[in-house]
Structure 1
Amino acid sequence: MRRVPARRGCGRRFAESESGIATLEFVLIVPILIAMVYGVAEYVNVADHRDKVSALARTLADLTSQNSTGQATDEEMKLNRGSAGPILAPFDANQAIIQISSVGVNANNANYICSTWALDPKKEITRIVGKDKSLVVPDNFKRAGARYVLAEVKMTYQPLFGSVLRRLLPTFKLDFNWSESVAWPVRGGKSLGTGQDAEIVMPGGKACDPKAT
């Protein structure tokens, strides 16, 4: 009596098939390749965002320091802040939180925010006029009579595919903040006393009091 060979299962036939192996390899490798491509793109985007935030802080400090009268106006500061658009592009400049201050250093390293400006004080201000022990003063300004401009920029980074990642990883924090602080010597302005660097007074503010300790 002739025996009929048993039929092989579908899984076994798939495993022995070259096309089945190729499909399996494709399924395993493609997600890894996609993740690698995304990772590289995200890294480049993060680095670019960081560089732009840093460049904006330096630009704002430099533009403010060039004031020739020593008394900055609100219109001038808004014009300076307008540089955020082209510098941060293609990122949204409206997301940048900016504050620019005039800093004075008196005897015994008494550090003061002499005057300060922000486009939207209710949203953006992080420093107030007066003695500020939290100031990190660069070594070249640690002397009585030193005056400089302090530009501070904060901005939240949002991932390239943030909306997709939030659905996949709802509990994972994907956004984070860059904070850039730049101390800049005054290039314009004017000195208000012997032994004092030139300074720039922010809109609506007053000059540094050299006697404050």
Structure 2
Amino acid sequence: MQKMSLRVRDLLNDRSGLAAVEFAFVFPMMVVMYFGVVELSSAISVDRKATQVARTLSDLTSQSVSVVDADLINFGQAAKAIMTPYPPSPLIFSITEVYVDKTTAVARVQWSKGLTIDTSGNVAIAAAAPHNMGDVVVLPPGLVVAKAKGTYVIWSEVSYKYTPTVGYVLASTGITFRDAAFTRPRLALCVLYQTSSCPES
């Protein structure tokens, strides 16, 4: 009986497996935190790249006097390069020119083209335009001021669905990042597309 009580006491005092038990409790939490940091940093990077794509598209368009579909596809190639190393196919983007009326300050679409990237990385003009000609759109308040009336604005929109590799930390179905950028034409009153003069000039 005494020997048995000594064995039980020795077993209770034994600390040789304590570190292994503690590690077994902490390890799952460490793995979740590790993947969480990796996925969160990737999501932030994608969000910033989407913002950069929006700014680049409006900036490139605003530096043109006129554009055709081939030019817009080239702008899409630049957007595709910006998204590296992330897959470009979830990227959906568009370029729209808006005219702000001289008297009413109402903003109306002059032309609008959407672009897509397929899984092979080919940039193409979308079948349907994101906005119809003549549609009234709401611009940020800072753009519609007295001195902006009677002017044109290049408006780019970007959408990118980021799907995390490990969906336990972030949404497993993916997170959609959206952004937009606005610039004024720099070399002419408007950027021409399938027309020989600015429609509202």
TM bucket (normalised to shorter chain) is 0.7 to 0.9
Q: Work out the CA distance in 1 between the residues paired with 2:162 and 2:84.
A: 13
Whole-Å separation in 2 of the counterparts to 1:9 and 1:186: 87
Give the Cα–Cα distance (whole angstroms) in 2 for the partners of residues 154 and 138 of structure 1.
22
Give the drift of 1:75: 0.7
2:92 to 77, 97, 107: 97
Q: Normalised by the size of structure 2, how large is the TM-score? A: 0.80
SS at match of 1:18: coil
Q: Count residues with an aligned counterpart.
A: 188
Tell me, in whole angstroms, the C-alpha distance in 1 between the residues paired with 2:26 and 2:18: 12
Partners in 2 of 1:160 and 1:116 — Cα distance? 34
Provide the aligned C-alpha RMSD in A.
2.8
Over residues 64-121 of structure 1, what are the superposed CA-to-partner deviations in whole Å (9 max), with x where a residue is unaligned?
Answer: 1111xx3211111111110022211111112110110011000212110111112343
| 1-structure distance, mates of 2:141, 2:134 | 19
Q: Secondary structure at the match of 1:152?
A: strand
In terms of fraction of residues, the more helix-rich structure is 1
1:45-64 pair list within 5 angstroms: 45-64=42-61
Q: Structure 2 stretches of 5 or more lacking a match? A: 116-124
User: What is residue 136 of structure 1 aligned with on the other side?
Assistant: 139
Instruction: Quote the residue 1:77 is aligned against.
Output: 72
1:27 equivalenced with 2:19 (yes/no) = no
Tell me the CA shift for residue 137 of structure 1.
3.4
Cα displacement (A) at 1:201: 2.6
CA distance in 1, matches of 2:114, 2:173: 28
Unaligned runs of 5+ in 1: 191-197
Percent of pairs identical after alignment? 21
From 83, 91, 100, the equivalent of 1:88 is 83
- TM-score, normalised via structure 1 length: 0.76
1:173, distance to aligned residue in structure 2 (A): 4.9
Residue-by-residue CA offset, 1:153-192 (whole Å, 9 max, x unaligned) = 1010111324xx4xx99xx65411111110111112x3xx
**Residues 35 and 166 of structure 2 are in contact (CA less than 8 Å); yes or no, is this contact kept in structure 1?**
no
- Give the Cα–Cα distance (whole angstroms) in 1 for the partners of residues 44 and 127 of structure 2: 30
